[in-house]
Amino acid sequence: MARTLIIIPTYNEQGNVASIVSRVRASVPAADVLVVDDSSPDGTGQLADALAATDSQVHALHRSRKSGLGAAYLEAFAWGLSRGYDRLVQLDADGSHLPEQLPTLLEAAETADVVLGSRWVPGGMVRNWPWHRRLLSRGGSVYSRVLLRLPQRDVTGGYRVFTAHALRRMDLSGVESLGYCFQIDMLLHAVRAGLSVVEKPITFVERTVGSSKMSAAIVAEAMARVTIWGLTGRNARRVAASTPTSLPRAR
């Protein structure tokens, strides 16, 4: 049976982390959970330690500072690959990604290298978003798809499954983005590495506890980076399948 690691990055998610870990454990009991905390001042890291102390399938990885979502995931990928996991899953701590949909995504990963939980394919949907947030997200995906020539519909979503094979084939040393644009960067690397990428519909739910880290400035920075990639021809560059993966050293 494939060993699965559900990665949950956190920063000031004390009000959400226990609930989301519990729901993950109920939805995929065989999977392990890794909470990656960026030294949250609200005590999220200590709560993650408490959860790990009572459940051998829950682990906590503490980072010294807040340095971006992408950096947290890259370190978590290194942690998981070094411990022999076959599938590594990205999942937000705020409840926007429903753990109850994990079995569907993991089933798709049995025949695909990368699985995207997609809001913008038939059957996908978003709940409790104002029209401008919906427009911003869809617009960002369309802009990135066109400029980078990506065939996928939801290129900015963060609910994803990567096989260990996929992560090793991708040249992660070339992932330049550590913030919001990280998701686009990772997808671009997967496609250029010739990996099979499929989208499965998900329901995305706006958080009800805590505050969103998203801002107009973050989105603007991501779109500026995508524009540079498109204009400099990075969209035409294929990542060599033989290139070994370079990841941060697991701690």
Do 160 and 90 contact (CB within 8 A), yes or no? yes
pLDDT given for residue 165 in this prediction: 97
Stretch 105-114: mean pLDDT: 98
Q: How far apart, in whole angstroms, are the C-alpha atoms of residue 59 and residue 8? A: 10
pLDDT given for residue 171 in this prediction: 84
Reported pTM: 0.87
CATH code 3.40.190.10 for 4-236 = no
Q: What is the pLDDT of residues 201-232, one digit of tens each?
A: 999 998 666 555 555 566 667 777 778 877 77
Give the model's confidence band at 200: pLDDT under 50 very low, under 70 low, under 90 confident, else very high.
Answer: very high
Give the model's confidence band at 179: pLDDT under 50 very low, under 70 low, under 90 confident, else very high.
Answer: confident
Average pLDDT value for the chain: 87
pLDDT given for residue 173 in this prediction: 86
Which residues, including other chains, have CB under 8 Å from residue 17's CB and lie 6 or more apart? 8, 10, 35, 44, 47, 48, 51, 93
Do 247 and 164 contact (CB within 8 A), yes or no? no
pLDDT given for residue 218 in this prediction: 64
